[in-house]
Structure formats: C-alpha cells, structure tokens
C-alpha cells in the first residue's frame, strides 16, 4: 500500500470521531489493503453536479467530513464574491441526507451565511425555486438522484437557480483543495444558529407559492375535473409523495392509488434496489397494483422527484412502459397542438432538448412553427437557455424542454427538471385524450404512424473501482482517435465530437465548429437516420451509449436497433478487451 494512502487512513482513524460509524468502518477494513486504497486513492471531486459517491469513511466516500469541507469551500467562494450571502438547502430520502443538510447549514452559518432550510425532504426542483424565491446566492440539494441506496450526493445551484456553472464549480473546487477537512472547517452549534436566525426553516407559504407556479403551467385548465382519470402513483420511497399528490388534487384528479410499500421515505429502497423510473424493476410494485385497480396511468417519480416514468394500458390489456423519449414526444405534441388551438402559444415559441434526445421532436416542432434548440446532455443546459431568454425579457417564448432520461420542464419558475409539473401535465394529457376515447398508447402509436418509427434505446456500461475511470478514458480516447467510416454496416453520414468542438459531414468532407461548451460526447449519425452517441456519465462510473434505429414500422426499427447494439457490444472499437 502506498505510504500516503496509509497515512490518510491513519489520519481519518484518529480524527473522524464526530461520526462513530465511520471509525467502526475504518477498523473493519484495517487489514484490507484494496478496500483502504479504494477509499483513499482520490478525493471526491466537486463539479457542476456537486459531489456524488458511495456512503462511508474516506476521502472517496460521502460522509459528514466531505460534506463539511465542500461546504466550507462553497462558503469561501461566496464570501469572496458577495458582501452578504444566503443559501437555500433541502434533501431527499437517502441515508444521511437530513444529516448532511444540517451539517452544510452549520458550516454556512458559522461563516456568516444565512441558510433557508427545508423542514423535511423535498423534490430537487424545490431548491431551484427556493434560490429564486429567497434571492439566495446558491442552493444545495442533498441527493444522489436515482442511484442505488449505497450512494448519496450534494448538488449545487447558482444564484439564478440553474445548476452551478463550470466556472463557479471550478472556483469552489479550488477553494476545497486548499482545506483540511478536519482542521479548516468552521462549525456552529445547530440550535444556536437557529436561535440566532442564521438558519431559518422554510415556511408553508413558500410551498403554496411553488404549487401555484406549477399549476399555472396547466394547458387545458379545468379539464381533469370529472374526467374519471384513475392514477396509480409511486414516489419510490422518495421525496415526491406530498407535492405530487397535492398538485394532482389541485387539478381535480381524485382517483389516485398510492403504492403503499413505496409511499413513505426510506433510503434503503427495500422494494426497488435501483430506484430509477427508467427501469421496469423499479416499477414492479406499481405494476402489481395496476393489475388490481386498472388505472389509466402509472406514475413513478425518482427519489428526489425531478424525473418521472409512466406505464399505460396496452391494447392487449398489459401495461406498457413508456420511454422518456416517448413521454417527451407526446408532451411536446400535446402542448404545442393544444396551445396552438387555444391561441396561447407565444410569438416565436421555443422548445429545448438535449442532443441525445429523439430527433422525432424536430418534426413536431417544425409542424407547429416552434424553434427547437439542441443543447448538451444535462438539464442545466436547458436551464441556461431559459436564463438567456430571461436576460432579453423573452422568457415567455420558452414552451417546453426535456431530456430522454425522463426529465421535463414547462414554465420558467425553476431552472431544473421537475417531476411535479411533469406529473401534472402527463395526467392532464391522459385526461385530455381519455375524453376522446384514446389511451396514451393510441397517442404514441399515432405519432409514430404520422412521423415514422424512431426507436431510442440507452445502454449503460459500468466501470467500478479505482481502475474504472481510466478504462472509460481509454475507450473514449480510442474512439476519438479512430478513423472509422461505418458502423454495423451503416455508413457514417456525420460525426460530431463535442469535446473537440467539431462536426464533420462525411458526404461533403466539410468540417465545422460546434458552438457549445466542451463535453466528452461522441456522436455518429448513420445513413437512414440511425445513430450511435457515446457519453461517459459525469456523476457515475459508467458510459452511456444512445442508439436510434429508424424503420417503416416498429419491428423494422427494433431490428435496426438490435443490429447497432450487437455491433457495439462485440466491437473492439468500443471495448478494446473484446477479442
């Protein structure tokens, strides 16, 4: 074992006494060099998504010391840039989320920074709204989104309610690297900070204000009342339970059945080890209840309630899982067609999607004369588009934005994806079509018949452990340095490298600059409208690969997609260890 790592281990064993569970963990691994190495070979890096990691003792783990030192770095950044600061803080249902939120509040208060703290767990978009509502200089949300129970994280927002920018995150990280997590962090007694007014609990009037803003995004107001829409809802043991149910009640949806085993907050996620509404396993409990009560729709929000997945009755009586792209496609068509009929579309409307989101949306936007903007993966880039419009007093032009990974936002009241407003609009959309005698399966199939079948599939390849990040870098470097002209028998029509900021047209040979922030994404547009896009996750040890298969019907599109997937899985180009 390297001497430096051994010294770090001993230092933590001696100093991490504020959380006795960490000391016990360290003692348990004292003879396990590989385990000690994994805990101390690096420090969790603070980026635009904040921190995220496995819970436990060590510099490479989520614990009170890494939360404290990150918050001290944030405090130093705020003190340098503002005369007087405040920060809004909330948390989800994960293990130690409430503790981490309290510890962050203690550090900020000790540095003379006012804290607005939620009294209980809340959805992530609430923090974005709180930053704007309280005119805070930053926001903190303690969450690891949809990761398994062993993870937690710490997400930061800027004064505009958007996720922290690259520049600001780099400055905060620079401050963090100067600090010793045991010696250089200021702390104040929590109760004293509350008594002194440095920590203020957020009151009920704030949540009423938030729900009012969500309700304002309704397209066909009053439509849901007496629609007879029946809903099964699961918050997946997370933060969505109260606000999602409140907004559904507000718009007149009363027949709501909550999945009891997943209703209450529980960071262990006992019935869904991977609490991700993208995967069927997370929805199994909800699907069981669907068989019993036969709803028009199943809603599932992830633990921090910024994303929502759905399932709807199929023509054979089973329940069909709708992908994030399909939900976004339907919402796009519903919002644009309804607002066009109602005359409520703004002049020169704009919607925004990420580069890995279905291109079918482009055709719908074009039909209704709506400008479509493509941005990098990550909802912060959609938030930045709203911000730019706001600077020009044109935020009313923004109609809708979404990403394929089940994140949606209508309205400009927040700068992040919001499962509360998405749940409301999805139910409103379902009620709208139910009044016409159509299910959401009928709707998406009708759109495919109109525009063609676009099958979008995302696969994630995990690379755990100390060598995982290096393996991911090698894969991306290998792809970037290859001169491949076809994939899976399809010619490459265009290739885009969002890190080197260029796009090459293979047919004309023309190479042009991409005017977007640098991002480690490689896109291969293939003949026939098919595509493969490769992106390492910014928060998890995995590479995501996005496939688009196009066909005259679903079977043909699925066949094309399977050909692309088989090619990637067995290709030395993507996985050099394949032989």
Give the start-to-end residue ranges of the domains of the chain. Answer: 42-202, 212-451, 453-569
Pairwise CA distance, residues 530 & 492, whole Å:
9
Distance, C-alpha 289 to centroid of its chain: 27
CATH assignment, 212-451:
3.40.120.10
pTM: 0.91
Catalytic residues: 145
Per-residue pLDDT, averaged over 310-315, amounts to 96
pLDDT the model gives residue 47: 82
Pairwise CA distance, residues 376 & 363, whole Å:
20
Pairwise CA distance, residues 497 & 541, whole Å:
21
Is residue 485's pLDDT more than 70?
yes
| Fold match, 42-202 / 453-569 | no
Structure tokens at 525: 């547009």
Contacts for 159 with CB less than 8 Å, ≥ 6 apart: 131, 135, 136, 137, 138
Structure tokens at 526: 């293939």
pLDDT in tens, 388-426: 999 999 999 999 999 999 999 999 999 999 999 999 999
Answer yes or no: CATH 3.30.310.50 is held by domain 453-569: yes
Segment (H or E) for 332 = helix 324-342
DSSP annotation of 164 reads P
Mean pLDDT value across the chain: 94
Share of the chain above pLDDT 70, in %: 98
Q: Which is the CATH superfamily of the domain at 42-202?
A: Alpha-D-Glucose-1,6-Bisphosphate, subunit A, domain 3 (3.40.120.10)
Q: Is 556 exposed, middle or buried (0-12, 13-18, 19+ CB in 10 A)?
A: middle
Give all strands of the β-sheet with 319-322 in edge-to-edge order: 255-258, 230-234, 297-301, 308-313, 319-322
Pairwise CA distance, residues 353 & 356, whole Å:
8
Is residue 578's pLDDT more than 60?
no
Segment (H or E) for 556 = helix 554-569
Per-residue pLDDT, averaged over 64-70, amounts to 98
pLDDT the model gives residue 579: 47
């Amino acid at each position: 074992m390297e001497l430096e790592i051994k010294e770090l281990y001993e230092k933590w064993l001696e100093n991490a006494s504020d959380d006795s569970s960490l000391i016990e963990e360290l003692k348990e691994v004292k003879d396990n060099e590989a385990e000690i190495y994994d805990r101390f070979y690096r420090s969790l890096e603070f980026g635009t998504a904040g921190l995220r990691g496995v819970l436990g003792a060590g510099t490479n783990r989520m614990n009170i010391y890494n939360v404290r030192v990150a918050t001290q770095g944030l405090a130093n950044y705020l003190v340098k840039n503002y005369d007087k600061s405040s920060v809004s803080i909330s948390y989800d249902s994960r293990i130690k989320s409430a503790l981490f939120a309290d510890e962050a509040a203690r550090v900020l208060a000790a540095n003379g920074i006012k804290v607005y703290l939620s009294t209980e767990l809340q959805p992530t978009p609430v923090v974005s709204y709180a930053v704007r509502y309280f005119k805070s200089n930053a926001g903190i949300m303690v969450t690891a989104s949809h990761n398994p129970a062993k993870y937690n994280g710490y997400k930061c927002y800027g004064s505009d309610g958007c996720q922290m920018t690259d520049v600001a995150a780099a400055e905060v990280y620079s401050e963090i690297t100067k600090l010793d997590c045991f010696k250089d962090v200021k702390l104040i007694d929590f109760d004293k900070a509350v008594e002194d007014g440095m920590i203020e609990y957020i009151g009920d009037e704030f949540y009423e204000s938030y729900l009012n803003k969500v309700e304002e995004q309704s397209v066909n107001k009053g439509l849901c009342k007496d629609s007879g829409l029946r809903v099964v809802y699961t918050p997946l043991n997370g933060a969505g339970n109260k606000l999602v149910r409140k907004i559904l009640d507000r718009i007149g949806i009363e027949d709501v059945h909550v999945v009891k085993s997943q209703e209450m907050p529980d960071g262990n996620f006992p019935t869904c080890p991977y609490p991700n509404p993208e995967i069927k396993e997370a929805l199994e409990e909800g699907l069981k209840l669907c068989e019993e009560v036969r709803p028009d729709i199943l809603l599932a929000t992830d633990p921090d309630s910024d994303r929502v997945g759905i399932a709807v009755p199929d023509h054979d009586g089973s329940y069909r899982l709708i992908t994030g792209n399909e939900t976004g496609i339907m919402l796009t068509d519903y919002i644009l067609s309804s607002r066009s009929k109602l005359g409520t579309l703004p002049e020169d409307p704009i919607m925004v999607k990420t580069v890995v989101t279905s291109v079918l949306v482009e055709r719908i936007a074009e039909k209704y004369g709506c400008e479509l903007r493509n941005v990098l993966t990550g909802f912060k880039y959609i938030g930045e588009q709203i911000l730019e419009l706001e600077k020009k007093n044109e935020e009313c032009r923004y109609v809708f934005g979404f990403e394929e990974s089940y994140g949606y936002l209508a309205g400009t009241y927040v700068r992040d994806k919001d499962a509360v407003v998405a749940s409301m609009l999805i139910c409103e959309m379902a009620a709208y079509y139910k009044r016409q005698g159509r299910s959401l399966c009928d709707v998406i199939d009708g759109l495919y018949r109109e525009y063609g079948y676009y099958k979008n599939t995302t696969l994630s390849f995990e690379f755990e452990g100390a060598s995982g990040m290096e393996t991911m870098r090698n894969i991306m470097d290998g792809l970037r340095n290859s001169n491949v002209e076809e994939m899976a028998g399809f010619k490459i029509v265009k290739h885009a490298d969002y890190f080197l900021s260029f796009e090459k047209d293979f047919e004309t040979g023309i190479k042009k600059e991409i005017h977007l922030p640098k991002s480690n994404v490689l896109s291969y547009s293939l003949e026939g409208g098919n595509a493969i896009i490769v992106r390492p996750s910014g928060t998890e040890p995995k590479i995501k690969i996005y496939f688009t298969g196009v066909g005259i019907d679903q079977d043909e599109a699925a066949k094309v997609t399977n050909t692309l997937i088989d090619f990637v899985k067995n290709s030395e180009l993507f996985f050099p260890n394949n032989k």
